[in-house]
């Protein structure tokens, strides 16, 4: 084995575990490493570890796409979730109308309008597509 190969092998053994996430324990370690890199590198594309941060983010994203599936939800289901998370009652959403109008939407008796979707997106700081 030549000297270059030995040097690469030495360094590869240190970073290789980050690039083959096979279970949740390895995933957690990779995320912790990524968070540390984000703290150190930030958005500085000239930082020597920026490419490692970028590549590790891609590997983690691929693992999440395969193992952390996000279920399909309707806009009303998302609204119910956000209301629960923010501890909101129908009366706390005047952008949707009266409390009875909000209850009608939550019960499926009325639909969210385009105006509602945009108001909710602004309120919760999410893309309007979340509610479509």
| Angle at alpha carbon of residue 76, lines to 73 and 80, rounded to 5° | 95
pLDDT at 107 over 90: yes
Overall residue count recorded for the chain in this entry: 132
Highest mean pLDDT among 45-54, 57-66, 89-98: 89-98
Average pLDDT over residues 104-125: 92
pLDDT score recorded for residue 80: 95
C-alpha atoms less than 13 angstroms from C-alpha of 67 in its C-beta half-sphere: 14
Rounded to an integer, the average pLDDT of 43-67 is 88
Q: What is the pLDDT of residue 1?
A: 60
Q: CA end-to-end span of the chain, whole Å?
A: 58
pTM of the model: 0.52
Residue of 87, 84, 115 lying closest to 101 (CA atoms)? 115
* Mean pLDDT, range 24-46, rounded to an integer: 88
Mean pLDDT of the chain: 88
| pLDDT over threshold 80, residue 71 | no
* Nearest alpha carbon to residue 116 among 99, 97, 98, 91: 97
């Amino acid at each position: 084995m030549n000297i270059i190969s030995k040097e690469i092998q030495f360094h590869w053994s240190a970073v290789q575990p980050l690039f083959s996430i096979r279970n949740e324990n390895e995933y957690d370690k990779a995320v912790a490493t990524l968070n540390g890199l984000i703290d150190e590198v930030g958005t500085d594309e000239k930082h020597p570890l920026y490419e490692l941060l970028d590549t590790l983010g891609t590997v983690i994203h691929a693992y999440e796409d395969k193992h952390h599936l996000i279920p399909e939800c309707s806009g009303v289901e998302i609204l119910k979730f956000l209301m629960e998370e923010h501890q909101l009652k129908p009366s706390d959403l005047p952008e949707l109308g009266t409390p009875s109008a909000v209850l009608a939407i939550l019960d499926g008796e009325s639909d969210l309008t385009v105006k509602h979707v945009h108001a909710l997106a602004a309120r919760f700081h999410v893309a309007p597509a979340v509610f479509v």
